Every structure is written in C-alpha cells, then in structure tokens.
Structure 1
Amino acid sequence: MRSLFEETGARLQFAGHETFPLRYGWLKKAFDAVERSKPGETKQIFNNERAISDFGVGKNMVLSIRHWALASGMLSWDDEGLGEIRPTQIGRLILEQDPYLEHPGSLWLIHWNLASTPGRAATWYYAFNEFNEPFFSRDLLRQRLMRRCDELREAKRLNETRITEMTLKRDVDCFIRTYAVRTAGGSRVAFEDGGLESPLTELSLVQIHDASGSFQLRRGPKTTLPDQVFAYALVAFWREFYPTRRELSLEAIAHEPGSPGRVFLLDEDATSERLARLDEITAGKLRWDESTGLRQVYAHDLRGLDEKRLIATLYLSMDLGAAA
C-alpha cells in the first residue's frame, strides 16, 4: 500500500497540542486574534506576554489553540513558519459563515484537513489512512505507530529523532479524546481531564467498543457528511495525487491513503452512492460511470472546478438553526 508518509516528504509532528484536544470556540478565537493583529504582529500573538490575558487561558492552552488552528487549516504560516500567520481561504469560508461550528459540514471539513495528509497531525493521518485495525486499544495504536516511525527512520525518510514512546502515548491519548466520547448511564460525559469534549466527537468516527478500553473506527455511511464536502475532498485528493488523470476508480477513492473513503471512513457502497451524485453537485464537471463495469469517475473539467465554491454554496443554502 502506498504511504503518504513516504510520498509527501512532510515534516511529521506528534506534539504541539500540549495534550489538549481541540475544543469548541478555539478556532474562532485564533482566527479573530490574527484578524485583529497588525502586520508584523501575528507571529507573536500566541506567545507574547499578553497572550494569557488575551485568550483567557493558561500558556500551554494558548499554544494548543495555535496548534489546532494551524493543524486544522484555518490558519497557515507564510514561508513555513518564518513569516506571518494568516487566515486561509477555507478558514474564512468556515469561520466567517459558521463561527460556532453549528453545521456538520464545518466539522467534516476540519476533520478532512487534520487527517487527509501527514504533517502537524501525523497520528490523525496514520489512524485513518494506514492503520488497518477496525478495533484497537491505545497501546496497539501507539505500538503500530512507533513501528511505522522506526521503519521510516531506517529508510532515511524520517529525520525526527525525538519521537519517544511517551511522545506517542500522549499523542494517541489526545487523538482518542478528539473523537471518542465516554457515556455514563446513556449520557455523554467529559474525558479524564474534566474538560469539554472536542467538537469532532459529533462525527462518531471513533467509538468506545467495550469496557476494557477498546475502540472502534466506525466505517460505513455518514448521514451528516454533505455531498459538497465529499466532492471538495475528492477534488483535493485528485489534484494532489493524480493531476494528469482523467479518471479515478472507485477502489482508489474508497481505499487509498488520503482519499475521501479512507478519511471519512466510508465503505465502497457509501462511496459509490456519493459518486453517483457528483454530476449534479459539480454541474457535470465530474461524472460517475459504472456502465462498463469499471466503476470510475471521469473528469470533464477538473481544472475549471472551483472546489471552494462548493463549500460556499453549502453555507449559502444552510439553515444554521436547523443544522445545530
């Protein structure tokens, strides 16, 4: 199986969140802080002496807020961290239209940005794209991830030398608390740190399997995933890894690392149902065809397809009060 760990050359990061999972309101706080800042100030707003009072949380949590804003793609560095922090186009689309993340599509987009490629959230990418155990424990995920890092280091594809068992243990714990929610007597409760749940628990991608500490990656239809978000992810995957291809197979879209099927945990039936609606969603620029038995998507005008307009259309048509 191809691995984006090896193909993208991304600098893998297994820390930065300070052990805090993403929380409600953090992305908007970070976005607003950058928007209010003057040119030349954005690089310091998360670590200057006013940051604690400005964000209303402790120093480590301020750094966690910055990490999640960058890892989720709401903000980005100019010049790989040497310049300023700026809002991204997709960050503006989401946080200006849906600042409180009331619409499920916003959460699916954030999840896509976290898990579709390795980088700032390497464990998130690995768990959804290269980890092939539907049921797992924290220890199993950590062990498999450590083995993968060792393989990359031996192949001289990983220069990071500070990845330790404890680093991965903390990263895996944070991953679990980003997606899984505990229940007590049928009610949702917070995880061990006593904090609020992550908004991404609403996606129900990682569920507690049994009382022994086992979890499940829930593959199948995702009723809250908008077709526009699926199409956005497919176009991003296509342009990144197959820019010269005019067709993609169902198998690639459903199973390859970095594909919508893997990142959204869709099975083949659920993926093909989404693909069958592409013609309408993309105004004919992408077309699903299974008449020859090959089950492929054909691109009639991939370059002319503005995937961000798909998201803008989603927000124009939504009723936030109904979506919440």
Structure 2
Amino acid sequence: MSKVLTNLQPADFNQPLEKASRFRFSGHQSFSLRIAWLPKAIKEISKGHDPLTDIDLGITSMGLGKNMVESLRCWIEAFQVATKEGSDWKLTQIGELIFSPKTGQDPYLEDHTSNWLLHWLICSNTSYTLFAWECLFNRWPTTEFSAAEVMTAFRREFEKNNREASPVTLKQHWEVFLHSYRPPRGGKGEDHLDSALSALGLIREVGERQNSQGKWEPLYSFDIGQKASIPQQLFAFFIHDWWNRKFPAEKTVSLQEIVSGEHSPGRLLKLQEKELLLRIENLAHIYPKVFKLTESANVRLLQRPTTQSGYEALITAYTNPIFL
C-alpha cells in the first residue's frame, strides 16, 4: 500500500495551487538532459553566440543533432541556467555563478551537489514549468505511482484548459520525466552516466500493479529516505530560495510550511519531516545570525531577520566536492 506523504492533500488537481504562466508538456523532444550538453550550451552562450535559436550553429558548435539542440533549448530554460533577453541568450545569475566556464563553481557538472541543484531549479521553476515535475514532485500525495495514474493526471490538466490531449505528447512527456530520474536496471549503462538527475536515486521501480483495465504495469516509488548527499549549505540555499519566492515580505514562516507547503523543500526534495526538522535545527545552530527557531501558540517558527539570496551558502556548498 502506498504511503501518504506528510500533510499533502489528494492529487485531484482541482484545488487552487500556485499558478504558472503555462504548464508545458513538450519542447524536450524525446530526450532527457544529458550532463555533457549543458557545458556545451553555456560555453557558446558565454561567447555571445546563439546555438539554441540558430539551429545550424547549434549543430556545428555543439556537435548535436537538430532535435537534440531543440531539446537543449527547453532544458536550458527549464533548469533556469540561461534565458533569452530580446534576441540574445544570457546566463542567469545562478547559471553564471555555478556553471560559467571561467568562473563557475562546477562548469562540467562533476560535483553531485549540482545534480541536487538542477533538480531544485527545475522543480521550483514557475515561469517555465514542465508539468511532469509540477505533477509528481509538487502535487503527488503518495510515495507510489504508475504510468496509468500519471497519464490520467496529465489528461485532466489538458482538459482543464480546454485543450485536446495528444496521447503521443503525453506519453513522451511521461517517458522523458521517468528516464530523467530512473537508473537503468542494474544501475549501469551509458544513459545512467549521462543523466543529470538519475544519480539522485529519487525514483525507483518497486514492483507491479494492475491498472483499471486489468493490465499489469510497473509501479514506481519516490525515495523518501535520508538525503545525506545534500550538503547543509545547499539545503540553506533551498530554504532561502523558497522563502524569497513564496514569502518575500515575511521574516517568519512556520516549520510546517517548509515541510509541506507548495514547492517547499519538504515536497520537492521528498524529505521526511523528521530529517527536515533536524536540518533546520542544525541551520539555526550553525547560522544563528541568519536563522532563529521560535515558538508561538504551540506553532514552531523559523525566523530570518534579514532577506538573503542564499548564494553565499550555495558557493560554500561547493567547498568540499562530492564525486560519484
């Protein structure tokens, strides 16, 4: 039986949730993001080139096929590492800080910290939102799911916007999402080494389940175990980043919001409440001028006296690289 994730509501997708400009189901073609692609695109963008709009330039400068270049354009925006300003592509602040070929902390995505960072960036992106990430990481209420259940949720989202769902588009969107996170059987293979997110181990195949048509299909589960590979400094950045987007004018938030609020660290990282609270207590201990734990009317609160970007903590997270 599926475990219900702490304090999340059933995924009927009819309840009001934080709005994105428009949910996307395509753009990535049939490709998940491969680690080698990101440095190639960032290198060209840093030179002032446009390998993503000028497909021919992208093919020759990055050594990728046409569909791969088009897919990479989607991933560049979804992972928030670059954006198009007018007719030019520019690295975002975080793209420059972490992935710049000259000054970035991890330009070739060699540090496991970057895998977690990319996961956070795509899940928290509310301006270029791929629906599979919104659906599974922010809304799904249980630890387990199957393709049939996910496809039903996808179709429902299309119908809410009076659009006709293309089975091919929805199936491809689901398969790209799944391939992004699920290691191949046996944990080996070139695709596993190439994937930017599968090394996180956040999704695994755990058995089979009969669908409504009586057919057996794979059953998948989120890993809700301890996330020891997330450095505390990176976790601090996640707290700052979520806080700045969700409650920019507030100096205090409840711990429960951090555990189970929309696009919160608890939801997006699939952290159990116990681990998350221990991490917050640790942050308050090691950064007493940044975070303070308080209590009001039996509600535990986290206080942040001054607004911070969290970039200082993010840079510190790369001090001791984690190599897989």
1:220 counterpart = 2:225: yes
Are residues 64 and 9 of structure 1, via their aligned partners in 2, closer, same or farther at CA, if it must alter by over 3 Å?
Answer: closer
Q: How many residues end up aligned between the 2 structures? A: 300
Q: Distance in 2 between matches of 1:275 and 1:4?
A: 29
User: What displacement does 1:240 show?
Assistant: 1.5
Distance 1:85 1:310 in 2: 27
In 2, the alpha carbon distance for the partners of 1:242 and 1:178 equals 30
> Is 1:257 paired with 2:262?
yes
2:184 to 159, 178, 182: 182
- Contact 1:129–1:256 (8 Å) recurs in 2: no
* Stretch deviating more after TM superposition (60-69 or 204-213): 204-213
Distance 2:152 2:175 in 1: 13
* Alignment equivalent of 1:87, drawn from 84, 91, 111: 91
For residues 43-96 of structure 1, the C-alpha deviation after alignment (integer angstroms, 9 at most, x for no partner) is x65434232121112100111122212211111122xxx432101111122212
* Alpha-carbon spacing, 1:224–1:196, altered in 2? closer, same or farther (3 Å): closer
| Aligned residue type for 1:124 | W
Task: Decide whether the 8 Å contact of 1:20 with 1:64 is kept in 2.
Answer: yes
Q: CA deviation at 1:101?
A: 1.7
Aligned mates of 1:176, 1:9 — CA distance in 2: 22
- Describe how 1:1-324 pairs up with structure 2 within 5 A: 6-37=17-48, 41-42=49-50, 45-78=52-85, 82-95=86-99, 96-118=104-126, 119-151=128-160, 153=161, 161=163, 163-184=165-186, 187-189=187-189, 197-210=194-207, 212-280=217-285, 282-289=287-294, 293-301=298-306, 303=307, 305-315=308-318, 317-318=319-320, 320=321, 323-324=323-324
Distance (Å, rounded) in 2 between the aligned partners of 1:3 and 1:25: 39
Answer yes or no: is the 8 Å Cα contact 2:52–2:73 preserved in 1.
no
> C-alpha separation between the residues in 2 aligned to 1:196 and 1:272?
33
Q: 2:197 corresponds to which letter in structure 1?
A: L
Structure 1 101/7 Cα, relative in aligned 2: closer, same or farther at 3 Å? same
User: RMSD across aligned C-alpha pairs, in angstroms?
Assistant: 2.5
Tell me the TM-score normalized by structure 1. 0.84
Q: Does structure 1 conserve the Cα–Cα contact (< 8 Å) formed by 2:292 and 2:302?
A: yes
My pick for the range that moved more, 209-218 or 257-266, is: 209-218
The answer (yes or no) to whether the contact 1:181–1:190 under 8 Å persists in 2 is no
Partner Cα separation in structure 1 for residue 36 and residue 288 of structure 2: 35
- Name 1:158's counterpart in structure 2: none
Specify the code of the residue in structure 2 equivalent to 1:214.
Answer: L
Gaps of 5+ in 2: 1-8, 209-216
Asked whether the equivalents of residues 182 and 208 of structure 1 are also in contact (C-alpha less than 8 Å), the reply is no
Displacement after TM superposition at 1:292 (Å): 6.9
2:203–2:222: 8 Å Cα contact kept in structure 1? yes
Deviation at 1:217, TM superposition (A): 1.2
| SS state at 1:208 partner | strand
SS at match of 2:56: coil
SS at match of 1:49: helix
Deviations 1:279-323 (A, max 9, x none): 25545221224697422211222x2x23111112222x22x3x53
SS in structure 1 of the partner of residue 64 of structure 2: coil
Seen in structure 2, the aligned counterparts of structure 1 residues 84 and 50 have a Cα distance that, compared at 3 Å, is closer
TM-score by length of 2: 0.84
Contact 1:250/1:297 (CA < 8 Å) preserved in 2? Answer: yes
Query: Distance between the aligned counterparts of 1:219 and 1:183, measured in 2?
Result: 20
Gaps of 5+ in 1: 155-160
Question: How far is the alpha carbon of 1:4 from its aligned partner?
Answer: 10
Aligned counterparts of 1:124 and 1:199: Cα–Cα separation in 2: 15
Deviation sequence 1:220-245 (CA, Å, 0-9, x none): 32110111222212112212222232
CA distance in 2, matches of 1:235, 1:215: 31
Distance 1:7 1:283 in 2: 31
Secondary structure of 1:21's counterpart equals coil
| Sequence identity percentage | 27
Q: Please tell me whether the aligned partners of residues 227 and 281 of structure 1 are also in contact (alpha carbons under 8 angstroms).
A: no
Cα displacement string for residues 139-197 of structure 1 (whole angstroms, at most 9, x for unaligned residues) = 2112112213423x26xxxxxx364232121111100000011223xx42366xxx854
Quick check: 139-148 or 44-53, which moved more? 44-53
